[in-house]
Structure 1
Amino acid sequence: MTRLPLSARIRPPRLGRLQGLLPPVVAWLLTNLITWLIAKASVAGDGSEVAYWSTGGRRRWDSDHYLSIAKTGYEMFRCRDRYADFPDVLCGNVAWFPGYPMAVRAVSATGLSYETSAVVVTEASLLGMFAVLWWLLGARLTWATGLTLAIGVVFPGGIYFHAMFPIATGTLALLACIAGVKRSSWGMAAAGGFVAASCHPVGAVAGGMLLSSACFAWQRDTWPVRCAKAGGAAAIAGCGVLWAKWLMWQATGRWDAYETIQKSSYRQGGLRQPFDEMRKSYDFPFSDWYRPEGHLPWLVEHSLTAHRTQLWLNAAFLLLVVATATVRLVRNRLLGAEEWAASILTVAIFLLPFFAGAEMSWYRNHAQMFVGLVLVKHMSRWIQVPLLACCSIQYALLGSMFFAGVLV
């Protein structure tokens, strides 16, 4: 009979579980420390030390809309009815989805302010992201998994994982959806898809992935059952969008409130030419529109066009994920269900903003490509280390744009 090593025999089971939780907790602490240092280097004046720890430091344009939904629900009105000098377009908050605001409302029931509740939801979601990712990586510390987790700490666009936005919550839901597919847990996959779709329009890609999951998941079932599970999970994910539209209808009396305000106020709607949108996104003049006044810290001065390097890095990450999946498929003749799911989601998340039109927000939407880290585990260390270096530099640059108020 094989005897266990002495260290394994005397280690209490609970200690082993705690050690399994340690890497994602350390990753969460590190990303907060790094982000605080970036904030400190990006904000001039006496408030630099507290900018990151204040709720105001994590609040940008759309944050106000999410907070208003959490506080009072949805509304839509003609801008000139309240603001005489405003263009004759529609105003309101029906262009934003309810998943994140409803979570903020629930936490605020504890007595916390809405702003503090929003930060709590965001940071709890980020910790959950690292925990689920760690499980998907096998929950075993190696060079490959350690470097993958490190890349997650400074993931491109990940500055929005700390902001009052639904990006972290939606990404956690997508990871839960992948975990459900890996575990053959239909309920978890469907619930993750629902939450992802209710948090952000980009989350709707979960429905497409789940619909296609009949081809690579639920392997223990017969084909009719696999198709039923895939279709049912996709339908439940789609209900996240229907729930959002139902809430908007309840408040405004219009089922097309979301589409109407997008077209009236933001000139969005319908499909766009993706390469034209990429060019517009690349050329968007953030440094002219939102340049801070006065003396700029060194990091801010050198990061005012960091959205351009962000697009290149995001595209490179996409290609690396697709290449890794392709190589594994050719070598092994098979991809794991979670690898299929992560690959499909990564490609869809990258493309969707350019088909929908999001020249001022694609960089935060692309942060949800965090799910692609499931494939990074299988990359060569010669790829992982340079990728970590590039992500670290870009995280500092985009983070500086954010805390300087250049990004929205």
Structure 2
Amino acid sequence: MEPNRPERRDWRRGLLPPAVAWLIANLVTWLVAKESVAGDGSKVAYWSTAARHRWDSGHYLSIAKTGYEMFWCRDRYANFPDVMCGNVAWFPGYPMSVRVVSASGLSYETAAVVVTEMSLFGMFAVLWWLLGARLTWATGLTLAIGTVFPGGIYLHAMFPIATATLALLVCIVGLRRGSWGIAAAGGFVATSCHPVGAVAVGMLILSAFFAWQRDTRPIRFAKAGSSAAIAGCGVLWAKWLMWQATSHWDAYETIQQSSYGQGGLRQPFDEMRMAYGFPFSDWYRPKAHLPWLVEHSLAAHRTQLWLNIAFMLLVLATAAVRLVRNRRLDVAEWAALILTVEIFWLPFFAGAEMSWYRNHAQMFVGLVLVRRMSRWIQVPLLMFCAIQYVFLGAMFFAGVLV
């Protein structure tokens, strides 16, 4: 037994940096919530489940509790528009995880927070492994940026963002280890949690050109194609559950078109302009005096978009510099690069005028390349991310963001 003790100590020490990052992320978010004072002077109870609950959270909880449903709104609400209602516009991966955890006796709300926070801890742990699990200035600053990542406020909410992002990171781990099963499993969970998870399918298809290098070309394409196919089955599982509950294979598409006017591809730059100009400040304007932080956070989605654009461009530039200098990227870096670009553009192609900022939080996977950036870039990036995190967090806790 004696020879195993150093291994156990190393294993525990390896979890220390991600554990510290997770604690700091919660501490910063708690401080933001503490300073987000409502119009009546009451403060947000960050440690309550109510503070983590926003709009779509109710739909995820209803799926966890009772499964899917779809109905004409007029059948239940006399004064409602003649559109479809229900919860079939939301994917099952996260709520099914909540249902499993709730079997321990926790309430569904508490189980949702547990799933979210454990997913966030898992994100830091997997990222740390991908960074080499060695504390340096580069890896330390990368973890620090992760604690205040753009849109990261949703990594603490009752949403599938943290779980889906963890799955994407696991998918990258699978590629780096040359494990077809891990890559496919990560992709499946990502697509079953959130529509943005579909980026895993595209990345896995492209993995034939940068991963599986020990295999012959036919085997590479077979692994890439089959892992992408299994990842895509996450969507089929979602649609099967919806069909079981509603008898409609197109339940998701029906409610998206009827209630939200979504469906088909959009012109991304038009969507971007609409997202930038969305009047969130008109949604929360109580008569009572607003504190400075909340007052100045009501247009934080605009600076958020600029920061997200800058982050994507920095990731692209970092990859380009490495390709020029080293003539190569490693497997994890290729995967992170492809996913980051896909995640940025997908909401604007699909139409996400009021949710792109939380979808973009999944660009967290791009931190795999942030460690390659100069310290002169990492430090300003950390500062800008921290400032923006405070303002978007105040916007979130003020109840403006969906």
- TM-score norm. by structure 2 comes to 0.97
Q: What is the aligned counterpart of 1:215 among 209, 212, 226? A: 209
Please give the secondary structure, in 2, of the residue aligned with 1:77: strand
Q: Distance in 2 between matches of 1:322 and 1:382?
A: 17
Q: Give the structure 2 partner of residue 100 of structure 1.
A: 94
Q: CA deviation at 1:12?
A: 3.0
1:312-343 CA-to-partner distances (Å, cap 9, x unmatched) read: 00000000000101111111111101000000
In 1, are the aligned partners of 2:284 and 2:398 still within 8 Å (CA)?
Answer: no
Alpha-carbon distance in structure 1 between the residues aligned to 2:25 and 2:157:
13
Worse-matched range after superposition: 349-358 or 324-333: 324-333
Asked if 1 retains the 8 angstrom alpha-carbon contact of 2:120 and 2:162, the reply is yes
CA–CA separation in structure 2 for the residues paired with 1:173 and 1:294: 43
* Deviation sequence 1:53-77 (CA, Å, 0-9, x none): 0000010000000000000000000
**1:67 and 2:81 matched:** no
**Maintained 8 Å contact 1:292/1:405:** no
Check if 1:288 corresponds to 2:290. Answer: no
Residue 275 of structure 2 is aligned to residue 270 of structure 1: no
Confirm or deny: 8 A CA contact 1:291 1:406 kept in the other structure.
no
Give yes or no for the alignment of 1:126 onto 2:130: no
Equivalent residue in structure 1 for 2:110, among 99, 110, 116: 116
Residue aligning to 1:378: 372
Find out whether 1:186 has 2:203 as its counterpart: no
Structure 1 residue 15 displacement after superposition = 2.0
- Correspondent of 1:305 among 290, 299, 318: 299
Query: What per-residue deviation string (whole Å, max 9, x for no partner) do you get for residues 22-81 of structure 1?
Result: 000000000000000000000346752x61100000100000000000000000000000
The DSSP-based 3-state class of the residue aligned with 2:121 is: helix
Question: Is 1:90 matched with 2:84?
Answer: yes
**1-structure distance, mates of 2:49, 2:303:** 28
Matched, 1:162 2:186: no
Q: Confirm or deny: 8 A CA contact 1:43 1:51 kept in the other structure.
A: no
Q: Deviations over 1:170-191 (max 9, x none)?
A: 0000000001111111111000
**Whole-Å Cα distance in 1 between the matches of residues 10 and 63 of structure 2?**
42
Could you tell me how far apart the structure 1 residues matched to 2:262 and 2:161 are?
20
CA contact (8 A) 2:138 2:371 kept: yes
Q: Provide the aligned length of Structure 1 versus Structure 2.
A: 398
Contact 1:69 1:93 in 2 (8 A): yes
Let me know the Cα RMSD of the aligned residues: 1.2
Structure 2: which amino acid aligns with 1:141?
L
CA distance in 2, matches of 1:186, 1:255: 30
- 3-state DSSP class of the match of 2:56? helix
CA distance in 2, matches of 1:244, 1:47: 40
Say if 2:314 is the partner of 1:320.
yes
- Structure 1 equivalent of residue 344 of structure 2: 350
What is the rounded CA distance, in whole Å, between the counterparts of 1:291 and 1:217 in structure 2? 51
Q: Specify which of 198, 221, 224 is matched with residue 218 of structure 2.
A: 224
User: Secondary structure of 1:91's partner?
Assistant: strand
- Counterpart of 2:356 in structure 1 is 362
Superimposed CA distance per residue, residues 261-306 of structure 1 (whole angstroms, 9 cap, x where no aligned partner)? 0000000000000000000000000001233452222211111100
Separation of aligned partners in 1, 2:94 and 2:320: 35
Distance in 2 separating the partners of 1:61 and 1:153: 24
Give 1:131-150 correspondences, 5 Å limit: 131-150=125-144
TM-score by length of 1: 0.96
Deviations 1:63-113 (A, max 9, x none): 000000000000000000000000000000000000000000000000000
Question: Does the 8 A contact of 2:151 with 2:357 survive in 1?
Answer: yes
Once superposed, which parts of structure 1, at least 4 consecutive aligned residues long, lie more than 4 Å away? none
Counterpart among 157, 169, 177 of residue 171 in structure 2: 177
| Aligned residue number for residue 392 of structure 1 | 386
Partner of 2:47, secondary structure, is: coil
Q: Following the alignment from structure 1 to structure 2, what is the Cα–Cα distance between the partners of residues 290 and 237?
A: 40
Deviations 1:332-374 (A, max 9, x none): 1111010000000000000000000000000000000000000
> Aligned AA for 1:115?
E
Identity %: 80
